[in-house]
Chain A
Amino acid sequence: MNNFGYSISPSSRIDLDKRDNDKFTRIVLLEPGFRKCMACGLCSSTCSGANFTDVSLRRAIEMIQDGQEKSAIVLLKGCMLCGKCNIICPRGINTRNLIRNILKVYMEELQ
């Protein structure tokens, strides 16, 4: 077969049918405020780490809700747990607890 120099790239589309609901439910149990996020972006705008790294709790929450855990972990790994987002969250989500539990639940599966 001729090689035209093209290849099929994987789809970037999220398939919500494939989301892991068990792990999602575990996170909700560990931090019940998880579902309250309204994606205002206060956490990520106040984040000290976000100036220098890819840390974004707002994006990570959205990623997890879409079943993209691996991408979410990348966005949280650089977090130093300073807790500024915890103070600023207008919905009163315990963001520190949330970040710790997201990393705990999803990292253990990956290892």
Chain B
Amino acid sequence: MNKEVLIIGGGPAGLECASTLLMFGYKVFIVEKGSELGGHLRKWDRLFPESISASETLERLLIPSKKAIVFDETEVSSVKLKDGFFDIILSDNTELHVHSVVVATGFKLFPAEKKEEYGYGVYNRVITNADLEASFKNNSRDILQSKRVGFVHCVGSRDEKISNRHCSKVCCVTAVKQACEFKEANPDAEIYCFYMDLRMFGRGYEDLYLKAQNKYGIRFIRGRVSEVAENVDGELVIKAEDTLISRPLKVTLDLLVLMSGMSKNPDNDQLADMLGLDIAEDGFFVQHDPTINSIKSKIKGIFFAGTVTGPKTIPETLNEARSAALAVHKYLSE
């Protein structure tokens, strides 16, 4: 008999976990809330640091996970743990009887309109990192022809005002990547990045930062943007402080890109209740053994994969997904 595993979430973590479990010979179910698999990766154009294609990456994740049974536009309605089995009822009333559960529900991109001082949804020329990826994808001339462009780091992260004290970690390098790509699409563009700290933690990230400065002439200004206003010509007037010389500054821009960070998935609370798991102050799931075994939950048979336990890069997410699959295999082999 093939043992059965339920994966909640069909993004990169869920897909990679499914592929690995299929390889071990398990029967895998994926419950996906959206209409398509792939999560946020589907909306992205290219990935840092090498600027590889997001759609090709997704394709490579989809192919080996094809044998998983997918319930799209479906959510988990109830979970009962009985005699080592998980009795699951889905929102379409399907009943599943699985041996193990992997939680891979990912993150939500911070809704930038909540930071009202930046005017997202009010001013046409204020967009988010996700909007810019869409513009790259569609080769949107209107956006890419902007001459003076600003990137605002830490939108919806490191900010107690919107209850996200955590660092979203991947936005720094995403901003640098997008700034370089913008400059490639439009070599005449003048680009400013407004940052607090540049957290270039990954391999190749620091090189990308150096390239942004040296090759593309992108200007990095240390100081958070305090407010944005539109002038009569429809240009954006940005206020910030250059904290390295302790003086306020203003600059007029044609486009402002807000680096929305990774926030908790709002479904986490309900899911945690159903599964009997805990949510930390930051809204992400609590790991039982975060240093040694990041994929372990406090309940036997339930594992985590990916950004459901905090912001992560794609490679980190994929490695964790494989690790979760291995943990499921170990648990089911006992």
Measured CB to CB, the nearest residue on chain A to B213 is A35
Q: What's the minimum C-beta distance from B172 to chain A, rounded to whole angstroms?
A: 13
Report A-chain residues with C-beta under 8 Å of the C-beta of B198. Answer: 38
Task: Give chain B residues whose Cβ lies under 8 Å from the Cβ of A15.
Answer: 249-251
Within 8 A of B (CB), among A1-36: 12-17, 28, 32-33, 35-36
B204-256 CB contacts (< 8 Å) to partner A: 209-210, 213-214, 217, 219-220, 222, 242, 244-245, 247-252
Q: Is the interface of A mostly helix, strand, loop or mixed?
A: helix
Please measure, in the bound complex, the distance between the C-alpha atom of A39 and the C-alpha atom of B209, giving whole angstroms: 13
* A36→B249 contact, CB < 8 A: no
B209: chain A residues within 8 A (beta carbon): 38
Q: Which of A17, A32, A33, A58 contacts B251 (CB 8 A)?
A: A17
A28 nearest CB neighbor, chain B only: B217
B252–A62 CB distance below 8 A? no
- Which of A14, A32, A36, A68 interacts with B210 by CB under 8 Å? A36
Contact pick for A16, options B214, B217, B222, B249, CB 8 Å = B249
Residue pair A35, B250 in contact (C-beta under 8 Å): no
Are A16 and B250 also in contact (CB < 8 A) when A36-B210, A36-B214 are? yes
Minimum CB–CB distance for B189 against chain A, Å: 13
User: How many A residues have CB within 8 A of the partner chain?
Assistant: 22
B247 touches A13 (CB 8 A): yes
Closest-by-CB residue of B relative to A24 is: B217
Least Cβ distance of B181 to chain A in Å?
18
Q: Say whether A86 faces chain B, with CB atoms less than 8 Å apart.
A: no
How far apart are the CA atoms of A12 and B192 in the complex, in Å? 21
Interface size bucket, B side? 10 to 19
**What A residues does B242 contact at CB under 8 A?**
14, 62, 66
What residues of chain A lie closer than 8 Å to B217, measured between beta carbons? 28, 35
Whether B252 lies near A14 (C-beta < 8 A) is no
Closest chain-B Cβ to A60's Cβ sits at a distance in Å of 10
**B residues near A62, Cβ cutoff 8 Å:** 242, 244-245
List B171-215 residues whose CB lies under 8 Å from chain A: 192, 198, 209-210, 213-214
CA distance A39 to B197 in the complex (A): 11
Residues A66 and B210 in contact, CB atoms below 8 Å apart: no
Among A32, A35, A58, find the residue whose CB has the most chain B CB atoms closer than 10 A. A35
Question: Which B residues are in CB contact (< 8 Å) with A35?
Answer: 213-214, 217
Kindly report which residue of chain A lies nearest to residue B216, judged by CB atoms. Answer: A35
Q: Min CB distance, B99 to chain A, in Å?
A: 51
- Chain A nearest Cβ from B125, distance in angstroms: 16
| A65 CB-CB contact with B under 8 Å | yes
Are A39 and B222 within 8 A (Cβ)? yes
Identify which of B210, B213, B247 contacts A12 (C-beta below 8 A): B247
Bound complex: CA A6 to CA B258 (Å): 41
Check A63 for interface membership: any CB of B closer than 8 A.
yes
The residue that B244 contacts in the complex, of A12, A16, A28, A59, with Cβ under 8 A, is A59
**Complex: A25 Cα to B252 Cα, angstroms:** 20
Query: In chain A, what residue has the closest Cβ to B192?
Result: A16
Which residues of chain A have C-beta atoms less than 8 A from B219's C-beta?
65
A111 to B214, CA, bound (A): 31
Q: Which residues of B contact A39 (CB under 8 A)?
A: 222, 244
Distance in Å from the Cβ of B164 to the closest Cβ of chain A?
A: 26
B213 surroundings in chain A (CB, below 8 A): 35-38
Q: Closest approach, in angstroms, between the C-beta of A108 and any C-beta of chain B?
A: 24
Cβ–Cβ < 8 Å partners of B247 in chain A: 12-14, 66
A59 to B245, CA, bound (A): 6
CB distance from B252 to the nearest CB of A (A): 5
Q: Which of B198, B213, B245 has its CB near the most chain A CB atoms (within 10 A)?
A: B245
Q: List 12 A-B contacts (CB under 8 A).
A: A13-B247, A14-B247, A14-B249, A14-B250, A32-B214, A33-B214, A35-B213, A38-B213, A59-B244, A65-B219, A66-B245, A68-B245
Known A17-B250, A36-B213; 12 more pairs at CB < 8 Å = A13-B247, A14-B242, A14-B250, A15-B250, A15-B251, A35-B213, A38-B213, A39-B244, A58-B244, A65-B219, A66-B245, A91-B210
